[in-house]
Chain A
Amino acid sequence: MNPKTRRPVQVLGISGSPHQEGNTEQLLDRFLEGAADAGGVTEKIILSTLTYSSCQGCNACHKTGVCIMKDDLIPILTRKVPEADIVALASPIYSMSITSELKAFIDRAHTIWAQKFKLNLVHYEKEHFATHPGYFLATAGMERPDIFDYAYPIITAFFNGFGCGYTPDHNITAPGMDRWGNIKGHPTALTFAYTAGKEAVRQLEKERAKEPEK
């Protein structure tokens, strides 16, 4: 609960997996369950059910701060993500990176980047990052130690644009799906995701309690 607005913590989960109810989405579900059990209000968006195009690279947003496209991503990028308190992106690792569905979504957030860096329309104070954490949930078939490393810079770019605090402890990763068969066979991933979701909301409540009354 936000002490000022009396609004419960809003948690937005976005899945970039083409598999509905597959390993990645189960991991995200557990994160959202944990968040809900800690008092958060959760919403899940499954990108593969939406209709949208990838970024056309037209750079119109560099001048206007507005995307020329009109599709399902617009309300998510302009309303849902900025209004959420906690945002969790989820993707399996395909070919050493995130899926093209999630990549297309992140590429479209270029408008937000332009608002901030090209037009100086938006500025986030340090507190904004502390009170708007971003999380990344990912699964991978392999267990090589760098399997998630090449996704992190992309996720960082996304969260920076929205003023979300994204730190290495906000990565919830489950490698070795080839070995474990599926996410349910993984010894720790689902429990870890649930705890992380719960803690995300609790930590945010604590952070907000610190905020001075204005």
Chain B
Amino acid sequence: MSVNVLAFATSQRRHGNSETLLDALLEAMAAEEGVTIEKYSLDEIVIEPCRGCNACEELNRCINDDDDLNWVLERIIEADIVVMASPVYCMGMCAQAKALVDRMQVLRSRKYVLHLPIAPAERQDKRLGAFLSTAGQDWDYVFDALIPSVKCFFHLADIKNRDISYLMVNNVDNMGALAAHPTATADAAVLGKQMIADIKARLAEGDRKGGEEGDKMEAGDKTEDAEGTEQQREKTA
């Protein structure tokens, strides 16, 4: 059974703490059978800020063809597991991560304006997400303000709240601090292994039940929508 993992390292500091945490997770995932990993750093691919033009409400894609967003969105939908790693800067995710989250607006338009599916019905509930984060501050609430934006991202990627895993490590600031943390990389490895086991179980379940599963999921999707609408991306200006 093959599992496609798509990961974004969003920090502009390459191989810093959040990316080291991500790499520990991906390494554990890669050690499992049949796992393909695709990792992008947002300094290798270009994701510009959202222009807020709402053209995607008609085009079903982003009008901005000057960067990598359009193919990245399709890769997000194709992936079985989507992982994002971001450092905390000024109590929020870093600006590059926020740009990617904001550009998910295309999928909001697809779902809520054009009423088209994001992931196909047969893949509902068969996709997982993980958000990894590191912060220099040691405050335990340092991650609180960015969680709602993370939920927006995964909601628009059609990954449900209950299917998002979080691994967030505070009090790691200088280069190398994460690697020196007593538990962080081991926690990431455990999480990576667990997620691959979970997704394989879900994919296997889908193969057994076939079409019956699809009908049930559609009903389930409606309840999620009520909650999901609340989280959908806001835009006005």
Which residues on A are within 8 Å of B, measured CB to CB? 17-19, 22-25, 48, 53-59, 91-101, 103-104, 106-107, 109-110, 113, 139-142, 144, 146-147, 149-154, 156-158, 177-178, 182-183
Using a CB-CB cutoff of 8 Å, which residues 220-237 of chain B contact chain A? 230-231, 233-237
Q: Known contacts being A100-B50, A101-B49, A150-B148, is A94 close to B95, with CB within 8 Å?
A: no
Q: Cβ of A139: which chain B residues have Cβ within 8 Å of it?
A: 236-237
Contact B145 A97 (CB under 8 A): yes
- Which A residues touch B146, using CB under 8 A? 97, 150
Q: Is A96's CB under 8 angstroms from B237's CB?
A: no
* Contact residues in B for A182 (Cβ distance below 8 Å): 236
Expressed in whole angstroms, the Cα–Cα distance for A21 and B204 within the complex equals: 53
Which of chain A's residues has its CB closest to B87's CB?
A: A57
In the assembled complex, which residues on chain A have CB atoms less than 8 Å from the CB atom of B93?
97, 103
Assess whether B96 is interfacial by the CB under 8 Å rule. Answer: yes
Structural contact, A110 and B235, CB atoms closer than 8 A: no
In angstroms, how far is the closest chain B Cβ from the Cβ of A197? 18
Pick the residue among A55, A97, A110, A141 that contacts B149 (CB under 8 A): A97
Asked if B184 is at the interface of the complex by the 8 Å CB criterion, the answer is no
B142 and chain A: residue at smallest CB distance: A153
Listed in ascending order, the chain B residues whose CB lies under 8 Å from chain A are: 11-13, 16, 49-53, 87, 89-96, 98-99, 101-102, 104-105, 144-149, 151-153, 173-175, 230-231, 233-237
A197 to B158, CA, bound (A): 42
Q: Is the CB of B104 within 8 A of A54?
A: no
Provide 17 A-B residue pairs closer than 8 Å at the C-beta atoms, listed in order of the A residue: A17-B52, A18-B237, A19-B237, A22-B237, A56-B13, A57-B94, A59-B175, A94-B52, A94-B235, A95-B101, A96-B234, A97-B145, A98-B92, A99-B98, A101-B49, A103-B93, A103-B95
Contact A107 B102 (CB under 8 A): no
| In the complex, chain A residues whose CB is within 8 Å of the CB of B49 | 18, 48, 99-101, 104
Complex contacts, B51 vs chain A, CB 8 Å? 18
